[in-house]
Amino acid sequence: MTFLLAVATGALYAGGFYLMMRRSLFKMIMGVVLMGHAANLLIFTLGGLVRGLPPYIAEGQKHLGEHFADPLPQALILTAIVIGFGVNAFGVVLIRRVHESVKTGDLDEMIETDSPEELLK
Amino acid sequence: MNLCLLFPILIPMTTGIVALFFWNHLRIQRIISILGGAGLFGSGIYLLLCLLDGGIPTVQIGGWPAPFGITLAADPLSVVMVLLTGTVGLAVSVQSLTGIDSRREAFGYYPLLHIMLMGVCGAFLTGDIFNLFVWFEVMLFASFVLLELGGERAQLEGTVKYLALNLVASSLFLSAVGLLYSAAGTLNMAHLAQRIPEIDHQIFPQAMAMLFIVAFGLKAAIFPFFFWLPASYHTPPGPVAAIFAGLLTKVGVYSLIRVFTLFFPGSSDMLLFLAGLTLVSGCLIALVQTHVRRVFSFLLVGHIGYMIMGLGLFTPLALAGAIFYLIHDIVDITALFLISGLIQKIAGTESIDRIRGLYRSHPFLALLFLVPALSLSGIPPFSGFWGKLILIRAGLEAKAYVLVGAGLVAAFLTLWVLSALWSDLFWRPEKPDEAAKADQLPQEERGWKGFGAEVALYGPVAGLALITLLLGIFAEPVYGLCRMAAGHLLDPSAYIGAVLGGNP
């Protein structure tokens, strides 16, 4: 299972970077979304995948047993998902407004902020 | 329970929320914003007094003992950064009164500004690496909206670039945090500092160090990652650009300093290499720009190199120099960007070719421009001179001659760029037909005129210029504070002890 998730994480990172390298505004946002998923899945996998073990100290014991489910990575991912959701929602609205204003979805044509004023006229 | 640690976070938060309640009452929002800025500055001073009084203050949030809960801790570096956030926040909120048009004000400019300041202060004060990520996101979120507020075409384009690069940086940072947790089993920074040397395979922390360099380097705009900054920072109005340039990049620098002193201590060739290239490339590209704020943006990038240089050398002198330079740079760059906003307001453009002879109509502005410009170039008695002197001397002691050369070249280029810019903007004779046209410059759209408005426009710049002069004249006590901060960074046992207390 760990192997499968590792491959999935790698694929998500690769897909995210690939989409961001494309020229399309929409694919760029999709790339950002995929990268966020990749980071979350990475943390999930790194937290250790154990099955059927409790995340608490057994009755009568003072310490955790040798094997236990670590709840912390899941708490981290939950936080990251919430943040990522907000950021992605903002990103989608932003590209809509950009598209309305610039009238193109081609990132290579968005050169206004990088060019001297004379070149644009 | 040290309340002094909570004020820098609670004050901007309260200001932001209360300002939201007065959505339709701009006048009340402005008053709240000024009060909030002043309160943040006051809380910075209070925090400094707390630190000088009784060692590093810490708060365990929710009463959970470290390393299980989230800790806030303020070592001297954090305190200095919070104090500067207060200074810049106050200056920017005063200038916003006249520097921001009412259309932007009406869409929640003041709440956003203060929520962003809360994120910045939180990032400086937290003692937990995942919490640092969360504060980064708080800060970024407000900054995305601030950058986009107004909805001009250039602003929207700039925001797309800024958003994409920052989200890549955030997901790399998050990945690094996850990897660090899986290797060391903790998220508390002080606890991590103890655990990381005990990791079996030391190649693992090195890989994470690279991830942190990329993640924070993107935010701090160091050499290969700086291209997004000049593409976005010249699009919003002056006060917004000033707080972005002055503070947000420095949050990246602060995080680099924090991570590379606590987790991966030691001199780093990688950082030195990047610092040298940042210094030379930023200042060289500034030479050929034709837009006032893009000149400043590239100079800002170049001067980040000095701080990275101090961090890379990793001697007590070099770290003290890096912190001194950090203080100088925040004040100075904020002043320069505020001035660029003023120029934009006066001339209606920031294209250097189209601005001439401002000295005739605005001699005071010419003088105000000169102070941070000379300070940034490293002319005594201003603060930039001492910062550079300490760093160059540290470089010579460490026999990093190439890097020292890069630092000197960068300082020379800065002087060249800024003096050429000053004489172009202020001294170049006006064309006869333009002199007539200058009388009919478009009137400012804001209704508030008169002496009070002038004070709100020029006062913050004058204040920051005065601070950079005072930092230069009274360099000794400031250097003492930097030396103390560097001592804490080099030997983090006091920090670790204060955070973990009796629970190692």
- Beta-strand (E) ranges in B307-426? none
Find out whether B138 and B119 touch, Cβ atoms under 8 Å: yes
| Nearest-CA distance A110 → chain B (Å) | 6
Backbone angles phi, psi at A56, to 5 degrees: -130, 175
The whole-number average pLDDT for the span A50-59 is 75
**Rounded Cα–Cα distance for residues B195 and B199 (Å):** 7
Q: What is the number of other CB atoms lying within 10 angstroms of the CB of residue A75?
A: 12
Q: Is B17 exposed, middle or buried (0-12, 13-18, 19+ CB in 10 A)?
A: middle
The H or E element that residue B71 is part of is strand B71-73
B145, B153, B171: residue with CB nearest A36: B171
Write out residues 15-74 of A within 8 Å (CB-CB) of B.
Answer: 16, 20, 25, 28, 32, 35-36, 38-40, 42-43, 46-48, 72-73
Q: What pLDDT was estimated at residue B138?
A: 94
Percent of chain A's residues with pLDDT above 70: 92
**Rounded Cα–Cα distance for residues B43 and B339 (Å):** 27
The whole-number average pLDDT for the span A22-28 is 90
DSSP code for B491: S
Closest A-chain CA to B292:
A116
| pLDDT at residue B432 greater than cutoff 90 | no
Q: What pLDDT was estimated at residue B331?
A: 95
| Nearest-CA distance B268 → chain A (Å) | 27
Domains present along chain A, CATH in parentheses: 2-51+68-120 (1.10.287.3510)
Backbone angles phi, psi at B398, to 5 degrees: -85, 5
A43, A91, A102: residue with CB nearest B153: A102
Tokens coding B145: 């909206």
| Nearest-CA distance A31 → chain B (Å) | 9
- Mean pLDDT (chain B) is 90
The H or E element that residue B249 is part of is helix B249-262
A-chain residues near B158 (CB < 8 A): 113
| pLDDT at residue B452 greater than cutoff 90 | no
Q: Which range in B58-72, B214-228, B353-367, B442-456 is most confidently predicted, on average pLDDT?
A: B214-228
A40, A79, A101: residue with CB nearest B156: A101
| pLDDT at residue A118 greater than cutoff 70 | no
**Rounded Cα–Cα distance for residues B73 and B503 (Å):** 15
**Cβ partners under 8 Å of residue B99, min gap 6:** B237, B238, B239, B338, B341, B342, B345, B457
DSSP B111-146: HHHHHHHHHHHHHHHB-BHHHHHHHHHHHHHHHHHH
Give the pLDDT confidence of B291-316 residue by residue, as tens digits.
899 999 999 999 999 999 999 999 99
Give the pLDDT confidence of B334-392 residue by residue, as tens digits.
999 999 999 988 888 888 888 888 888 888 899 999 999 999 999 988 999 999 999 99
Range from B60-64, B271-275, B421-425 carrying the lowest mean pLDDT: B60-64
| pLDDT at residue B2 greater than cutoff 80 | no
CA A16 to chain centre: 9
Give the pLDDT confidence of B5-54 residue by residue, as tens digits.
999 999 999 999 999 999 999 999 999 999 999 999 999 999 999 998 87
Find out whether B39 and B141 touch, Cβ atoms under 8 Å: no
Q: What pLDDT was estimated at residue B10?
A: 95
Give the pLDDT confidence of B65-113 residue by residue, as tens digits.
878 889 999 999 999 999 999 999 999 999 998 888 888 888 999 999 9
Helices (H) and strands (E) in chain B, counts: 23, 2
User: Positive or negative CA dihedral for A109, A110, A112, A113?
Assistant: negative
Q: What pLDDT was estimated at residue A119?
A: 54
Closest B-chain CA to A28:
B164
**Cβ partners under 8 Å of residue B372, min gap 6:** B331, B332, B333, B335, B336, B339, B464, B465, B468
Per-residue pLDDT band at B139 (split at 50, 70, 90) = very high
SS3 content of chain B, % helix, strand, coil (to 5): 80, 0, 20
Percent of chain B's residues with pLDDT above 70: 95
Percent of chain A's residues with pLDDT above 90: 47
Per-residue pLDDT band at B443 (split at 50, 70, 90) = very low
Percent of chain B's residues with pLDDT above 90: 64
**Rounded Cα–Cα distance for residues B30 and B80 (Å):** 27
Find out whether B292 and B425 touch, Cβ atoms under 8 Å: yes
Per-residue pLDDT band at B504 (split at 50, 70, 90) = very low
| pLDDT at residue B204 greater than cutoff 90 | no
| Nearest-CA distance B50 → chain A (Å) | 32
**Cβ partners under 8 Å of residue A38, min gap 6:** A9, A12, A13, A16, B171, B175
| Nearest-CA distance B392 → chain A (Å) | 33
Closest B-chain CA to A70:
B185
Chain B interface, mutation test: which of A22, A72, A95, A113, most B Cβ atoms within 10 Å? A113
| Nearest-CA distance B204 → chain A (Å) | 13
Are residues A43 and B178, on separate chains, in Cβ contact within 8 Å?
yes
| pLDDT at residue B199 greater than cutoff 80 | yes
| pLDDT at residue A58 greater than cutoff 80 | no
Find out whether B125 and B88 touch, Cβ atoms under 8 Å: no
B-chain residues near A76 (CB < 8 A): 130, 177-178, 181
Per-residue pLDDT band at B175 (split at 50, 70, 90) = very high
Q: What is the number of other CB atoms lying within 10 angstroms of the CB of residue B346?
A: 17
Are residues A87 and B158, on separate chains, in Cβ contact within 8 Å?
no
Range from B128-132, B201-205, B446-450 carrying the lowest mean pLDDT: B446-450
| pLDDT at residue B477 greater than cutoff 60 | yes
Q: What is the number of other CB atoms lying within 10 angstroms of the CB of residue B375?
A: 30
**Rounded Cα–Cα distance for residues B150 and B494 (Å):** 47
Amino acid identity, residue B380?
Answer: P
Range from A46-55, B144-153, B373-382 carrying the lowest mean pLDDT: A46-55
Amino acid identity, residue B372?
Answer: P
A28, A114, A116: residue with CB nearest B231: A114
A86, A98, A116: residue with CB nearest B160: A98
A38, A40, A113: residue with CB nearest B154: A113
| Nearest-CA distance B215 → chain A (Å) | 13
- Using alpha carbons only, give the angle B383, B305, B232 rounded to the nearest 5 degrees: 100
Find out whether B463 and B86 touch, Cβ atoms under 8 Å: no
Are residues B234 and A113, on separate chains, in Cβ contact within 8 Å?
yes
End-to-end CA distance of chain B: 19
Q: What pLDDT was estimated at residue A120?
A: 53
User: Positive or negative CA dihedral for B427, B429, B431, B434?
Assistant: positive
**Rounded Cα–Cα distance for residues B255 and B215 (Å):** 10
